[in-house]
Amino acid sequence: MPELPEVETVRRGLAPVMEGGVITQADVNREGLRWPFPPDMAARLTGQRVERLRRRSKYILADLGSGETLLIHLGMSGRMLVSGDPLGVFAHDHPAAQKHDHVVFHMENGARITFNDPRRFGAMDLMQTATAADHKLLAVLGPEPLSNDFHEAILVNAFKGRNTPVKSALLDQRIVAGLGNIYVCEALFRAGISPKRKAGRIATARVSALVPIIRQVLSDAIDAGGSSLRDFRQADGELGYFQHSFDVYGREGAPCRRGGCGGNITRIVQSGRSTFYCPVCQR
């Protein structure tokens, strides 16, 4: 499932053709994906100007001139692909319709944005912009890791007294929003912290040091266009490249890249998910 860097990469790719643009026609080709689409979604989107395109955690939010906000979640295999861009950013002509093109936005500037989702775990919803933060999917989220709301004191306080492994704590979206399996593994490696260590038993200084490390891992991934493991594509159809920089994720049995370590990357399962780490230098 795309994590924060992949969603932010898609948002940045969509912004040049969607932000400030008008949706002249919205085609909705099925009743819903993970859950039903909101009533009259096509009619409520058609003719609306996209005032702002933003991201919250792993969701893309399009604020519309109508006072509503379109919430988009890519799910496991969802892609938002741009074609026919008059700005010259995208070189792709409009492709023929595909089987899993579930929602298509025709923009006034000639661009077309297609939401394609073979597995149909993606989602869209409409809500009032003024109360968007109260939406059931957004109200439970913790601070954005790249914002000023995420800082050392916040994480130290969140970890205090927790008996869960630090890997599980960082995946808890109520503690910090948008982190997923890949980037938690990578951040813990850079911090030298074992994913098995109990969150509440990590020294305050080490917890505080995690904050800038998390930010740097996410920033590095965004700069590389995210990570393409299976289905992820950027808005122009290109792959992300951060997977070539993984220190631990997916490297089971490979030598640790930390100089002088001498260990090998190990995979364990935590809460049903694969965790990759170096048992020698992550303590």
Residue-wise pLDDT tens digits, 77-136: 888 888 876 655 555 567 777 788 999 999 999 999 999 998 899 999 999 999 999 999
Strand-pairing partners, residue 106, are 25, 112
pLDDT at 92: 56
What would the DSSP string read from start to end of 118-132? SS---EEEEEEGGGG
pTM: 0.89
Question: 11, 56, 58, 167: which is the annotated catalytic residue?
Answer: 58
What is the distance between the alpha carbons of residues 21 and 14, in angstroms, rounded to a whole number?
Answer: 11
Q: Name the token pair of 50.
A: 């996209």
Per-residue confidence (pLDDT) for residue 208, from 0 to 100: 98
Going along the chain from its start, the domains and CATH numbers come out as: 4-134 (3.20.190.10), 152-277 (1.10.8.50)
Known catalytic membership, residue 2: yes
58 is a catalytic site residue? yes
Are 147 and 4 in contact by the 8 Å Cβ rule? The answer is no
Question: What is the model's pLDDT at position 240?
Answer: 40
Q: Looking at 38, 52, 273, 279, which residue is catalytic?
A: 273
The pLDDT, as a whole number, for residue 227 is 54
pLDDT tens series, the chain, 283 aa: 688 988 998 898 899 899 999 999 999 999 999 999 999 999 999 999 999 999 999 999 999 999 999 999 999 888 888 887 665 555 556 777 778 899 999 999 999 999 999 889 999 999 999 999 999 999 999 999 999 999 999 999 999 999 999 999 999 999 999 999 999 999 999 999 999 999 999 999 999 999 999 999 999 888 876 654 444 344 454 534 345 578 999 999 999 999 999 999 999 999 889 999 999 999 9
Q: Where are the alpha helices (DSSP H) in 50-144?
A: none
**Pair 12, 225: CB distance under 8 Å:** no
Q: In the annotation, is 95 catalytic?
A: no
pLDDT of residue 6: 87
Amino acid at 189: F
**Is 118 one of the catalytic residues?**
no
Cβ neighbours, 10 Å, residue 272: 5
pLDDT, residue 241, reads: 38
Which member of 3, 6, 68, 186 is catalytic? 3
pLDDT value of residue 52 = 98
Quick count: other Cβ atoms within 10 Å of Cβ 185? Answer: 26
The DSSP bridge partners found for residue 266 are: 277
Residue keyed to tokens 């992300």: 240
- Sign of the torsion formed by the C-alpha atoms of 92, 93, 96 and 98: positive
CA 203/CA 201 separation, integer angstroms = 6
Tokens 């399009």, residue?
62
| Helix (H) or strand (E) segment spanning residue 63 | strand 59-64
